[in-house]
Amino acid sequence: MRKRTSVTRLLVLFRPLARVLALAFICVYAAAFSCSAQSANCISVRVLDSKKGKPLKNIAITMFAVPPSSPKTVRTDSAGAARFCLTDPIPDRLWFSFDAKFESCSGYMFPSAVILGYGYLARSNQCAGRIFEFTERPKPGEIVILARHRGWLETHTEWP
């Protein structure tokens, strides 16, 4: 009969622990996989100040789908992001509208397939003044829109 060495004694002792750790790893990995599958049709809209590049917090963003469906309104968080989940069938284009206090420098209508597949950095060609240059690459499912604050006269002026 073979004599057990200290290494084999340790293996016998830690084998149940290794099984528990392996099972826990599999459960965590499966949970992460199922979460990403649930959010496959969700997009994140990140709104940044066009001059400074800082996230614009607590802005109401309304998303409209083309072809039309019911609009959804979400407020941005501290990172300037709002999350929307799309229903099947996925709309061709998405249209975003901001509070009356903010204006998009990037336009308002964007292709949903590009946003979901690659991420989308909306160009900032519609606002005057110094424009912040965004250097990151948006993640799939994320759109980055640059916006500017509208002044009091712009929001309160009514023409007769």
Question: Domain check: are 124 and 56 in the same one?
Answer: yes
Question: Domain check: are 59 and 4 in the same one?
Answer: no
Q: Which CATH number covers residue 63? A: 2.60.40.1120
For 12, the domain range is 1-38
Output the pLDDT for position 59: 92
Question: Domain check: are 131 and 88 in the same one?
Answer: yes
The number of domains in the chain is: 2
Question: What is the number of alpha carbons within 13 Å of residue 145 lying toward its C-beta?
Answer: 31
pLDDT per residue rounded down to tens, the chain (160 residues): 566 666 666 666 667 766 666 666 665 555 544 444 345 788 999 998 888 889 999 999 999 988 777 889 999 999 999 999 988 888 889 999 888 888 888 778 889 889 999 998 887 666 776 666 777 888 999 999 888 887 765 555 655 5
Question: Domain check: are 97 and 141 in the same one?
Answer: yes
Output the pLDDT for position 55: 92
Cβ–Cβ under 8 Å, residues 42 and 141 = yes
Question: Domain check: are 56 and 27 in the same one?
Answer: no
Output the pLDDT for position 33: 45
Output the pLDDT for position 137: 86
> Is residue 45 within a helix (H) or strand (E), and if so which, with residue range?
strand 42-49
Output the pLDDT for position 45: 93
Question: Domain check: are 7 and 60 in the same one?
Answer: no
Residue partners of 141: CB distance under 8 A and separation at least 6: 39, 42, 43, 44, 115, 116, 119
Question: Domain check: are 32 and 83 in the same one?
Answer: no
Output the pLDDT for position 1: 57
Question: Domain check: are 50 and 109 in the same one?
Answer: yes
Question: Domain check: are 102 and 132 in the same one?
Answer: yes
Question: Domain check: are 23 and 87 in the same one?
Answer: no
Q: At 3, which amino acid appears?
A: K
Question: Domain check: are 94 and 122 in the same one?
Answer: yes
Q: At 4, which amino acid appears?
A: R
